[in-house]
Structure 1
């Protein structure tokens, strides 16, 4: 992998759209993008987390602590859906279907609170929301596969990817194992961000120090990240995979996070070379 960008505190929700990369800096409360040919970071009053482009081209974001979905105006994330009466913890990753329906992580507990299972929330195009799945062990990365018929969620706490069948009305059923990340990559591997491709799903494994391509509980390949912790990933319109990395200076990840001693970067891999 080659360096692509630097200067973030923690890079989440990377998305490629219209020739540009966008990502949330959840620790620095900034929205980063190289739209227009140069990197810019817009200060936010409260951090965004997961990002997704709606069918009409608007950028939607899971506002991590405000418990709402916002849409980007060019200066701020305006109101789109209020989840404050539904979410039990901070909001995480965000993904949407071709019709504009969204799914978002409800992590279930805030930093400093005892861990408890989280949930997945579904937001309809009119902004109404409902619980889509419960008892999810630290929900993290989200992706749609099988032409939008299956939702995948990275359960960081359970070290696995879990699949749900999506019914025509958007409800989820038939929960099942998609990939045992600990078994495939190693006991230290904890999935965070994920990105679907025709060949499988790329998984940023954080403490596993690799991004791994998996499919139906099989490991296809993996790219090591050295001492860096891979947080999230996304592809562009071609053969590149962008990966956000966390550098803790050799300190344990959660210790460095608590001390705000993490520096984040973006690296890019040429998938033609990986194959």
Structure 2
């Protein structure tokens, strides 16, 4: 078996708190700067712009409807917000009554189905998160739960044909796949890859591989279905999320920061960085 590549990363920008939920949109890298309420866009030169400040500290995440309107998950408030043409934020869906835990990540597929994960039952004593769920907000606005018992639901990605959703189960050390039915329901739950690590944010590439970020192991890893490791990018701090972007979507952007535990996530520390490497295959699917 060929030894997986270990690739160094270059610095794009720094001075962030905790970068999360990266998206490549309108020729810039967008991200949520957890702990500040900021949504930041970064251009090819590493220049940062705060494009929106939301009434959330953490967690919050972003994606776009097919018509181009921005969606923001305000995790602790249990609200899915939508930005209108005049810049105002309105409630797109209220998830508050569906969960005793914060909501985390979002992905919108090619048909306008919105998947939000996290949530679930109240955490056990001493735990920060209980078993997670995935809810679907359909194009008609209807909200329903489509998966449960997710072991710390984290990054999600949908294949280009909108037929498969992959979710990172951080506390189970695996990526899990579901078939997406015509009505957006999830079925045929299966292990996509068992991992030697803790997957956080993920993205898909055109060769069918998944990149996943790993906080405690301070790296991003490219894996094939089944778990074969193809490439590793190691950095000097925790990797929270990753996204393929750039002009040809063949640059892997890595969001990294020093990890001091959940109780210290909101602080004056600004150890968050965006790093990048050239990837072997371009990004596909959603987000």
Contact 1:166–1:172 at 8 Å: present in 2 too? yes
Contact 1:210–1:222 at 8 Å: present in 2 too? no
Corresponding residue of 1:58: 69
| Correspondence for 1:241 among 244, 252, 265 | 252
Specify whether residues 68 and 191 from structure 1 end up closer, same or farther in structure 2 by C-alpha distance, changes over 3 A only: same
**1:72 is aligned to 2:83:** yes
**1:181 is aligned to 2:189:** no
Inter-partner Cα distance in structure 2 for 1:110 and 1:39: 36
- CA deviation after TM superposition for structure 1 residue 9, in Å: 1.0
**1:204 is aligned to 2:213:** yes
- CA deviation after TM superposition for structure 1 residue 34, in Å: 2.8
The Cα RMSD (Å) is: 2.5
- CA deviation after TM superposition for structure 1 residue 220, in Å: 3.9
**1:33 is aligned to 2:41:** yes
Corresponding residue of 1:15: 23
Contact 1:11–1:231 at 8 Å: present in 2 too? yes
Deviates most, 130-139 or 104-113: 104-113
- CA deviation after TM superposition for structure 1 residue 116, in Å: 2.1
Contact 1:44–1:76 at 8 Å: present in 2 too? no
Contact 1:212–1:219 at 8 Å: present in 2 too? no
Q: How many pairs align? A: 264
Counterpart of 2:136 in 1: which secondary structure?
strand
Corresponding residue of 2:136: 122
Inter-partner Cα distance in structure 1 for 2:75 and 2:202: 18
Specify whether residues 36 and 216 from structure 1 end up closer, same or farther in structure 2 by C-alpha distance, changes over 3 A only: closer
Inter-partner Cα distance in structure 1 for 2:88 and 2:11: 28
Counterpart of 1:130 in 2: which secondary structure?
strand
Corresponding residue of 1:213: 222
- Consecutive aligned runs of 4 or more in structure 1 exceeding 6 Å deviation: none
Inter-partner Cα distance in structure 2 for 1:216 and 1:156: 17
Inter-partner Cα distance in structure 1 for 2:194 and 2:233: 18
Inter-partner Cα distance in structure 2 for 1:111 and 1:43: 32
**1:232 is aligned to 2:244:** no
Inter-partner Cα distance in structure 2 for 1:201 and 1:36: 23
Inter-partner Cα distance in structure 2 for 1:172 and 1:101: 12
Q: Which has the higher contact order (CA 8 A, sep 6+)?
A: 2
Could you tell me which runs of 5 or more consecutive residues in structure 1 were left unpaired when the two chains were aligned: 183-188
Specify whether residues 224 and 241 from structure 1 end up closer, same or farther in structure 2 by C-alpha distance, changes over 3 A only: closer
Corresponding residue of 2:274: 266
